[in-house]
Structure 1
């Protein structure tokens, strides 16, 4: 047996012994009639940040605080503990002669991880540390596990995502990222609310997988005995509301796409879509650059952020270029002179672009952009006028009907937003859906389904409308300087652990 294996075995044996001792402590407390799990509530008067940030007001006053023991130093008849609440940490000073011999004896058995309530006087120690001198200490919950930092800290990234509750306790910067996320989302909602947008809710379970090109999650409704789909987008329902007479609507919520997982992709993610009657894609551009800049400033204090060593400036206005201009700039291929599918496929083959069944000129242009253009877009940039073939819900450009009045917003090489002047011609829309069905027959499992009721809604009449979708999680990655989308989702999708082993590990 190797030394490493012997050390691991000893560590596991020590950990098992610690867990056994903690349960014995709980049993003794219960036998004494001091079962912490029977405590229903604790009336706090203050938190750590309030006390430390306003010491002059709190000095000498009696407060009641509560939190988790994160460190403990007992020296004979007195001891110091650090307790952590939602806002931060504060030191507590506990003396035998203040709380009594019996209570001090019980306090001495408390473990790191236990949740306690402390009532006492705010003061400063000789080392000028703001603290609470305890008059009473109450155990509110017994921790039967061992916090990872007792050994080597919670460093395993996979375990951190699985046990986010532990991650939040021992890695304070994780909590900071989610507080930043909350600030940014409040700013986003405030920006839209102040401009007359109405927040609404639409179905998550759909009978048709529509509104985007993506592979859906499929489930089954037992009573109706029909397949149903977790929504891949909420677009078609929101546009129905514009038909119904709402001029400005938005919805922020979870979308579900049964696709790959990566640092930029989680099957369940947060997006916002908004629609404005009598507006077009240029209005959506203005909203996009302004609202993301507003979110950045509200969350970080600046429209300029540093992401993994690169400064990204969200200050409006952002750069604008058409997809064909982007392809020409980075490949030298000028699709304004390439007018047939045959010519496009020939140049695609020459440049090593993968050819798929039924591929046409517009799809070749998009493939060129994805292959050669996306990874050049570091600073915020709008890519406009996508081909009709890859834009089944966007209005055609009047000057060149092969293109659409659409844009995607990019930063740090990532797509952050997608928007367009909404297609409101029901005849054209039905033809686009038919084209999607053709792609599905050729094996494209991300192609849209036909939505006859949506066609009917368009026939009732959709006014000229601009629509926008923003991928919230990717924006949050940038604003929190997080390398993975899992860092900005509290509970990201994870593969189950074999044998359901989900205990705290070192």
Structure 2
């Protein structure tokens, strides 16, 4: 920490201490937030606010100061003839950009039309020992931005706006579901099996139980146990963990919103999800029109609905229905000169192979909100089979700008069929498909006690925010993304 500027700041700190000024006072009572104070009428008196000093403009007998926090900023005026010579000189000599102050005064508007608080008294509230970086805006090392996110929030308006939008979005989602009479619940992060999605889990060890556990990849099977127990409408903000590759669209630790409604099917959920997205846009951004990749998208218009088979045929001219065997399908992609990068492509089951084909060749083309329906059954081990075509599932994904932002289906509630599918998944897993599911006897037992018809959905907060704010990478949509250890 030792550099000349830090040493100078420590000297100022020691001087303040020697003058009997509290260095780290316990509290300061405010009566307005900064963003509220900036909207007060001229002449409003006894306004008390506090914040970090982000700007100082010194003149002979007056100083303009800008203080701020994550929600707003306010200009202050410190005049020698109004505050007194000693406090004025103390500010000039001992306070720096980055320090915290609390002030009381009256509001007025300057000649340049800026709302300003004329300081009557001020209190020192904390010293910054490090100087705020001057070159932060030109910072090319993205890892530094993530590692010191507190500086990024302070120094980069775009970061601050996006991460505040995340908080607003979470509040809107919670309000939406509560207004629809869904009950918020919490389910375990530490689990014996890794069911609920096709993904590779993180593993951990429980010392007292002397057992290996997984960090959950999804809350799905526990939320469905609650439906067995008599809940009819539930949702959860679930921290999930998937030990998968890093990409601009994937986080290994992320927040999933997942929910279930008894007696619904996936078409009911489609209506709910469309309504939810429009509500989120209105509450978070005050608009339903978003600019994505320089294209204005009006979410309130009708959304396209397309089947998995039609979409793949449209983009590759391969009819997946003609290739029930994964090896034949793989050969067909090679005949069409379609290159699919994967570390161990020949170990993939048919469902995961089709998913890879879709992700590489089809998904990037979907920009406007599109419901993708009728997924192959081997891609959806927990979804209900379509009654007229049992090779397909009653499922949809909402895709926007090449990213899946919501996944939902009519749930499989037949325990015998579920057992068959989990056995097939376990077979794939034993043959090297690391993303296949494992057997979950406890969940099957719960199912055997009886389940009503159910529809459920899940979506990642970060993925949704990434799309709605047109961010380049999902790491920009989490407060503290994981970085390599220095």
TM-score norm. by structure 1 comes to: 0.90
**CA deviation string 1:237-282 (max 9, x = no partner):** 0000111111111101211111122221111111111111111111
132, 156, 179: which one pairs with 2:117? 132
User: SS of 2:312's equivalent?
Assistant: helix
- Change in 2 beyond 3 A, CA 1:328/1:190: same
* Cα distance in 2, alignment partners of residues 46 and 437 from structure 1: 59
- Change in 2 beyond 3 A, CA 1:86/1:366: closer
**CA deviation string 1:219-240 (max 9, x = no partner):** 1111001111111000000000
**CA deviation string 1:273-319 (max 9, x = no partner):** 11111111111211222211221122122222002312233225421
* Cα distance in 2, alignment partners of residues 379 and 89 from structure 1: 37
**Unaligned stretches of 5+ residues in structure 1:** 1-11, 498-506
* Cα distance in 2, alignment partners of residues 124 and 311 from structure 1: 38
**CA deviation string 1:412-457 (max 9, x = no partner):** 0111111111111111111111111111111112211211010001
Could you tell me which residue of structure 1 aligns to residue 79 of structure 2?
95
User: SS of 1:64's equivalent?
Assistant: strand
TM-score norm. by structure 2 comes to: 0.93
- Change in 2 beyond 3 A, CA 1:225/1:240: same
Q: Is the 8 A contact 2:40 2:107 kept in 1?
A: no
User: SS of 1:181's equivalent?
Assistant: helix
How many residues of Structure 1 are paired with residues of Structure 2 in the alignment? 481
- Change in 2 beyond 3 A, CA 1:256/1:459: same
* Cα distance in 2, alignment partners of residues 136 and 412 from structure 1: 53
The answer to whether structure 1 residue 397 and structure 2 residue 381 are counterparts is no
Superposed, 1:380-419 pairs within 5 Å as 380-419=369-408
- Change in 2 beyond 3 A, CA 1:353/1:411: same
Superposed, 1:129-278 pairs within 5 Å as 129-149=114-134, 156-278=141-263
The answer to whether structure 1 residue 437 and structure 2 residue 426 are counterparts is yes
The answer to whether structure 1 residue 281 and structure 2 residue 261 are counterparts is no
Question: What's the C-alpha RMSD, in Å, of the aligned pairs?
Answer: 2.1
- Quote the offset at 1:346 in angstroms: 3.4
Could you tell me which residue of structure 1 aligns to residue 102 of structure 2?
117
Q: Is the 8 A contact 1:299 1:479 kept in 2?
A: no
Superposed, 1:286-301 pairs within 5 Å as 286-301=271-286
Could you tell me which residue of structure 2 aligns to residue 504 of structure 1?
none
Could you tell me which residue of structure 2 aligns to residue 4 of structure 1?
none
- Change in 2 beyond 3 A, CA 1:45/1:162: same
33, 48, 68: which one pairs with 1:47? 33
- Quote the offset at 1:342 in angstroms: 5.8
**More deviation in 221-230 or 297-306?**
297-306
* Cα distance in 2, alignment partners of residues 368 and 139 from structure 1: 61
User: SS of 2:449's equivalent?
Assistant: helix
User: SS of 1:448's equivalent?
Assistant: coil
Superposed, 1:341-380 pairs within 5 Å as 343-351=328-336, 352=338, 356-357=345-346, 362-380=351-369
Q: Is the 8 A contact 1:392 1:432 kept in 2?
A: yes
* Cα distance in 2, alignment partners of residues 342 and 486 from structure 1: 36
476, 482, 486: which one pairs with 1:493? 482
- Quote the offset at 1:340 in angstroms: 5.0
User: SS of 2:38's equivalent?
Assistant: helix
Could you tell me which residue of structure 2 aligns to residue 19 of structure 1?
6
- Quote the offset at 1:129 in angstroms: 2.7
* Cα distance in 2, alignment partners of residues 280 and 61 from structure 1: 59
Could you tell me which residue of structure 2 aligns to residue 326 of structure 1?
311
Could you tell me which residue of structure 2 aligns to residue 427 of structure 1?
416
* Cα distance in 1, alignment partners of residues 20 and 394 from structure 2: 72
* Cα distance in 1, alignment partners of residues 64 and 348 from structure 2: 71
Q: Is the 8 A contact 2:246 2:252 kept in 1?
A: yes
* Cα distance in 2, alignment partners of residues 51 and 308 from structure 1: 37
**More deviation in 150-159 or 20-29?**
150-159
The answer to whether structure 1 residue 454 and structure 2 residue 439 are counterparts is no
* Cα distance in 1, alignment partners of residues 136 and 270 from structure 2: 51
Could you tell me which residue of structure 1 aligns to residue 56 of structure 2?
72
- Quote the offset at 1:123 in angstroms: 2.0
* Cα distance in 1, alignment partners of residues 22 and 140 from structure 2: 33
- Quote the offset at 1:155 in angstroms: 5.6
* Cα distance in 2, alignment partners of residues 150 and 347 from structure 1: 53
* Cα distance in 1, alignment partners of residues 153 and 432 from structure 2: 44
* Cα distance in 2, alignment partners of residues 339 and 394 from structure 1: 19
**More deviation in 353-362 or 72-81?**
353-362
User: SS of 1:53's equivalent?
Assistant: coil
